[in-house]
Structure 1
């Protein structure tokens, strides 16, 4: 009996020790080459700010431009086209509403481009959430692959784990569970969609993603906060930047690194862009370097600075502390947040934004919530103006641990410019429009969504620190 207990003790100890060791290994393991990029500053970039807004003006109004920009970039591609989008599907609960057919429309546009120009090299990169982690083969991707496009469902295993308490166990014992395309479990995103298998759900709980949103041809690129290829995201408010110049090569190199995670090599590009001196400097920042850049912008803000933030999720504790410190130094800080109440027909509990907003208001920071009505304020940017100079950072990354701590794959653009430049004044006009509710209802006072529940504050902190969350 004693020997049996001893053996069981050794077995249990070993079963616990293995995930612990695996978790440590993946915590200290170097990142794959080409990931977490702090690019070079380029002085030849031409950048144009583009945005979508949904608001109320005697009825719900939608002004959408990002979809049109994506279609234009697809149509104008001559040699190369790369689309890297986190969500690329038509999955949602149709009993709760309907959305424009963005996934099909973009697919048809790409297929038309290939048909018109068979020499066009098309690469579609997306997250494995779109094929239910191997349980389904969506028709759009089959059509694209049959037409000759390179379709990549990103292999995220080489990156650190955003949910380490679970992922260390998954890596040790569960990752070999077979993923079947004859699953019997309900689809987590669409009750009428393809069934999922046990193996796909075991992968899903890792909560890690290729969260990028990039469209690129040999002439220009669009870096955005919008999942333009997702039906359910089509009504959201978002921001984006159409950019050209030498930075295109940095963006493409970064996409080559993502493809390499899945052992796929992307060909070189015959670039055909204009390179002329500009009144700004621009660089690519990805993954953890987004946080580094964001904190540097906030740390450099002085009592004479104006800081404007608009973001879907704001939860990272270093960022929260930096925003509060910036306000304490005397900078004027205005923050627009999504109320975190809507997600494709599902009602959410307001975590984390309402809890962070309460912290900000307690520290003298002005906060407004976007007045959403089923859709989301999905933008992700920070703008800092000090004297004659301005800085801008925006793209796919929410300001959360998962998005800016080398866990997700993310792409942002950083810009330095004169405060009088067209881009700076356009950003300020955009922000003023939604902050002041110019010619419509965009935002509401903090008190409308104020939530001081202690348990929610505690739960937010636990989720953000452990990764046991989807934000």
Structure 2
């Protein structure tokens, strides 16, 4: 056989193997008990919380924070167990040019103080390996938690489906066999002043996958939020939903699934379920929660069930999923009133972004023959990081919010996500809270929260093409 043929065959195999691996991993099922939805529960205990950063009448940026205070309260109130699942839990940012409150250290101190007060309290903290720059180093605050007896679980991302198959096929075929290393000689892109990292860390990061859930659970309550306890995220605008009752048990099952496939001790979760302080209840609110792809099913059901005398209101950090966009257009065709508040996608921890995906998606929707109303959240360097959809009917409000951006990666069983859905009577306290929140932002009552669409509109073929490629192939972080 000619030498050139041998080289050709070898090169072909080197390319074919990753393509086969990518195909298998792309279509593989999710781990057991992932992509789940609970049954619907009734309760009188539902709370809506939000953080907001705004521009006051003098043009000065001001921040009103409530969600972390609720997290601290749940830590204080925990007596039997505490489970936290959060993706970004660090102080990674450029400390030379930016300055943020020590959110991650404050949360660490709160947990350590609680553990010192109650040494027998079982605490499980589930997080994403991004906080160790993919196993390159362990930050001091995470070491302190482990040393204090907190069970720290780093999500095994290799068990998740690959949203970036063109790259992940090569990674799984070749790069992952390099393993991990604590050696560092490259600048840390997440924190330039932090520990140096290595090529293996960056190779892992380029898979663009994450445990993106944001949940806090104790024996009484559960909180689902869009917030990250990350210093550089301290001023982001976020939302949260808190409830109690038998649904807490199902939340524990969902978190146990992550611990299970990540190699942690799941025996504690059986004990936790015996310690839940709840009874079967009735109430005016219906609540259920969903994870991963089940979030998309519920979102699409809400949109598809909206009628021409009803209104959909969305508040989103990212909107890019093509199925959701198609459903929104169909709802517009049916005469559904629709409003969107979108992040401009221009700020990311001191770095400037290009407006993708929200700007090309907004341009697509506003150019539709029956366009929605769109406003941009006015940023002062932070992000409008909320992720929710609200349907207003004659008799009730249905609100679906949590960690999931409305993107392919977040909704199609790739990232790990958690949302909660609340159905409330139109005249209830919850309904008044969520509709009031939206109206204040939409009308700029008392401050400047949002901008007219025209102030940040952009029609760019290049960005539209870029967005469509990134969304379909997973070649992005959204």
TM-score bracket for this pair, using the shorter chain length: over 0.9
Distance 1:298 1:14 in 2: 46
More displaced stretch, 151-160 vs 291-300:
151-160
Counterpart position of 1:50? 49
Q: Which residue of 1 aligns with 2:321?
A: 316
Deviations 1:184-205 (A, max 9, x none): 1111111101111111111000
Alignment of 1:156-167 (within 5 A): 156-167=157-168
Map 1:424-435 to 2 at 5 A: 424-435=431-442
2:359 corresponds to: 354
Once the two structures are overlaid, the 10-residue window that deviates more, 374-383 or 10-19, is 10-19
In structure 2, the residue corresponding to 1:95 is in which secondary structure? coil
**2:422 counterpart residue number:** 415
1:27 shift after superposition: 2.1
Q: Which residue of 2 aligns with 1:344?
A: 349
Q: Is the 8 A contact 2:26 2:163 kept in 1?
A: no
Aligned to 2:391: 384
Q: Distance in 1 between matches of 2:280 and 2:392?
A: 27
TM normalised by structure 1 equals 0.98
Q: Deviations over 1:316-342 (max 9, x none)?
A: 011111111111110110000000010
Q: 1:386 to 1:114 in 2, by over 3 A?
A: same
Q: Which runs of 5+ in 1 are unaligned?
A: none
Which residue of structure 2 aligns with residue 251 of structure 1? 251
Is residue 44–residue 246 contact of structure 1 (8 Å, CA) maintained in 2?
no
Partners of 1:423 and 1:137 in 2: CA distance:
41
Q: Does the residue aligned with 2:424 lie in a helix, a strand or coil?
A: strand
The two structures have a TM-score, normalised by structure 2, of: 0.96
2:310 is aligned to 305
Q: Deviations over 1:52-100 (max 9, x none)?
A: 0100112211110001001001111101101111100001012232000
Which residue of structure 1 aligns with residue 152 of structure 2? 151
The 3-state SS of whatever aligns with 2:288 is strand
Structure 1 vs Structure 2 CA RMSD = 1.1
Report 1:158-237 matches (<5 A).
158-227=159-228, 229-237=229-237
Partner of 2:90, secondary structure, is coil
Moved more, 40-49 or 337-346: 40-49
Q: Partners in 2 of 1:25 and 1:382 — Cα distance?
A: 33
3-state SS of 1:195 partner: coil
* Equivalent residue, structure 2, for 1:281: 286
* SS of match in other structure, 2:340: strand
Where does residue 261 of structure 2 map in the other structure? 261
User: Are 2:475 and 1:468 aligned?
Assistant: yes
Q: Aligned-pair distance for 1:436?
A: 0.2
What is the aligned residue count? 469
Closer/same/farther in 2, CA of residues 184 and 45 from structure 1, 3 Å limit: farther
Q: CA deviation at 1:274?
A: 5.3
Q: For residues 149-207 of structure 1, what are the alpha-carbon distances to aligned partners after superposition, in whole Å with 9 as ceiling and x for unaligned? A: 00111101111101110001100111011322121111111110111111111100000
Contact (CA 8 Å) 2:23, 2:165: kept in 1 or not? no
- Contact 2:166 2:473 (C-alpha < 8 Å) held by counterparts: yes
Matches within 5 A, 1:57-136: 57=56, 58=58, 59-136=60-137
Moved runs in structure 1, 4+ residues, more than 3 A? Answer: none
State how far apart, in whole Å, the 2-side matches of 1:205 and 1:357 are.
27
Tell me if the contact between 1:360 and 1:366 (Cα under 8 Å) persists in the aligned partners. no
**Counterpart-to-counterpart distance in 1, 2:123 and 2:94:** 31
Q: CA deviation at 1:142?
A: 0.3
Q: Secondary structure at the match of 1:133?
A: coil
Does residue 23 of structure 2 align to residue 31 of structure 1? no
Given candidates 360, 370, 378, the residue that maps to 1:371 is 378
For the 8 Å contact 1:125–1:259, the answer to whether it is kept is yes
Corresponding residue SS for 2:125: strand
What does residue 400 of structure 2 align with? Answer: 393
Single out whichever of 101-110 and 25-34 deviates more from structure 2. 25-34
Distance in 1, matches of 2:278 and 2:74, equals 13
- Alpha-carbon distance between aligned partners in 1 of 2:242 and 2:421, rounded to the nearest angstrom: 13
Match of 1:140 in 2: 141
Q: How much does 1:409 deviate?
A: 0.3
Whole-angstrom CA distance in 2 between matches of 1:29 and 1:392: 31
Shift of 1:3: 2.4
